[in-house]
Structure 1
Amino acid sequence: MKEIKSTSIQPNVKELLSFATSEKNVEKEYGLYMQSPVRKLYGYDLESEVAGCIGIEFLSPKRCEIKHIAVSLDHRGIGIGSKMISFVLEKYSLSLIFAETDKDAVNFYENYGFKITSLGEKYPGVERFQCILKS
């Protein structure tokens, strides 16, 4: 895992972020990672390419929110997402990490050990979930 700090966004990082946010917001979100002192973006390298990324925002020194997490389509299902969460937890000795997600990703967080709470229909026809992990 390495922190992504480049001022220009790599094409595969751009694609990964588009899995985790709307395509029109990718550039803005990437810019926030490059400018904000409380945001960090990490890449998971596999076969000399960034196969996954995780973006976090610190709420306090021991608490953070996962803003974005994504794995390339060719590398899903082999534990990269879990390895990225473990990396962040260990690197920063976090006591709490949380994320908000949709129905598609709930099982991923639940399998990792996050406590899941429905936030209801936040957008018309879209149920959202809060995922919290305390360590």
Structure 2
Amino acid sequence: MKEITSTVMNPTIKKQLSYATLEKKVNEEYKKYTYLPSRKLYSIEVNGETISCIGVEFLNSKKAVIKHIAVLPKERGKGIGSSMLRFLCKKHDIHSVFAETDKEAVNFYSNFGFQITSLGEKYLGVERFLCEFKVK
């Protein structure tokens, strides 16, 4: 995995982030990764193609929130998302990780070992979930 630090957004990264957030928010979110020291954005490339990215915000030295995680549809189900999570926890010695997500991503987090809590209908007609993982 490589850390993305360029202030100029690669179109492939823009596409990846659009899988994980509203398209109109992608530029704003990317700027946060390049300017805020509490945020980091990483990607995985295979044969020159960016196939995934993960963005995290560090709350303190041991606790982080996953802000964005995306894997190209054709690459999903291969363990890429899980390997990105393991990388982050190991590289930054994170002891607890949180994410807020929709119903579509709950199985991914649950399969990794996150505890899932429904937050109810946070947006009209959209149930949201808090996912929490404590590293053992």
Shared fold (TM-score, shorter chain, > 0.5): yes
Aligned equivalent of 2:13: 13
1:123 aligns with 2:123: yes
Paired residues for 1:1-135 under 5 Å: 1-135=1-135
Cα offsets for 1:69-99 (capped at 9, x unmatched)? 0001221111110010000000011110010
| Equivalences, count | 135
- In angstroms, what is the RMSD of aligned CA positions? 0.6
Distance in 1 separating the partners of 2:92 and 2:34: 19
Distance in 2 separating the partners of 1:106 and 1:88: 19
Amino acid at match of 1:40: K
Distance in 2 separating the partners of 1:130 and 1:44: 25
Structure 2 length normalisation: TM-score?
0.97
Cα offsets for 1:8-55 (capped at 9, x unmatched)? 111110000000000000000000000001000000111222110000
Distance in 2 separating the partners of 1:45 and 1:83: 13
Deviation of 1:59 after TM superposition, in Å, equals 0.4
**Tell me, which stretches of 5 or more residues in structure 1 are unaligned?**
none
Identity of matched residues, %: 56
Structure 1 length normalisation: TM-score?
0.98
Runs of 4+ in 1 over 3 A off after TM superposition: none
Q: SS of the residue aligned with 2:78?
A: coil
Cα offsets for 1:49-69 (capped at 9, x unmatched)? 211000000000000000000
